[in-house]
Amino acid sequence: MSRAVVTALVLMLAAVPLLAQDSARDVEKTVDETVGTYQQTQAAKTEWAREEDALTARYRAARANVEYLSAQRGIQQARVDALNERIGEFERRLTEATRLKDSIQDTLDMVMIQFEDWVEQDLPFLPEERARRVASLKDDMARPDATSAEKLRRLLESLQVEAGYGASVEVTEAQIDVAGEELYVDVLRLGRLALFWKTPDGERVGEFDQASASWVELDGKYRRNIINAMEMATRMRPIELIALPLGRISR
């Protein structure tokens, strides 16, 4: 064996421990890197698991919230539908009330006209009092701030007062025109049936003739009965049956 070959073998044998030492370092480094990678992987998996749990919890909470909001939306929609239905009903009632109000007002106006005409064509008693009542009632009927119920109440009150005249008897003083002659007389009202008059001295008597709508003088034969009737009306004489010339009671 040559010297050169021997030298090469010696160098190779000397290098074997060095190669073994380098391989161990490489293996250790690889193992360390593998362990580090595994640890990082496990840490990442753990973090992902936590994130997954958090996302799952958020998803479930969001889904539950969506379901709750959907249920609330249904409830609120039902309330809105109910409110819209009530609003529609109120609008219908308002329209109907407005129509009825207009109809009632038309009826009140018509009755007012008939009432005024009735008073004007009635026997001429208490002219100032009745004229004031009609004027006041007309003002009430024209008031925009007065309700239909209030107007109806006032109208009924006036009708009741006028109707009450039909069940009463009274004697009042008045100035009348008899065939162009002005006389101050006592006037006897028998309900809404007839009006009779006499002069203060009792010498002249008469009545209101509804056919001609004028005051007329009667024959003296009626004087005693008319005077007696006035005395009975003023409670100066006991009530008894007497005959009075009623004549025609309408025009």
Per-residue pLDDT tens over the stretch 192-236: 889 999 999 999 999 999 888 899 999 889 999 999 999 999 999
The SS3 call for residue 53 is helix
Contact between 188 and 228 (Cβ < 8 Å): no
Contact predicate 188/237, CB 8 Å: no
Judging by DSSP bridges, how do beta strands 169-178 and 181-190 pair with one another? antiparallel
pTM of the model: 0.57
Please state the domain extents for the chain: 103-164, 168-233
Per-residue pLDDT reduced to its tens digit, 119-158: 988 888 888 999 999 999 999 888 888 888 898 899 999 9
Asked if residues 185 and 174 have their Cβ atoms less than 8 Å apart, the reply is: yes
Q: 94 or 137: whose pLDDT is higher?
A: 137
In this structure, the dihedral spanned by the alpha carbons of residues 120, 172, 136 and 167, taken in order and rounded to 10 degrees, is: -70
Separation between Cα atoms, residue 116 and residue 135, nearest integer Å: 9
Q: 2 vs 5, 8, 10, 12, 192, CA distance in Å?
A: 5, 10, 13, 16, 174
Burial class (CB in 10 A: 0-12, 13-18, 19+), 187: buried
**Residue 146 CB: number of other CB atoms within 10 A?**
14
Instruction: Tell me what pLDDT residue 14 has.
Output: 57
Taking alpha carbons only, the member of 195, 204, 198, 122 closest to residue 163 is 122
Look at residue 238 and tell me whether its pLDDT is greater than 50: yes
Distances (CA, A) of 60 to 50, 54, 64, 67: 15, 10, 6, 10
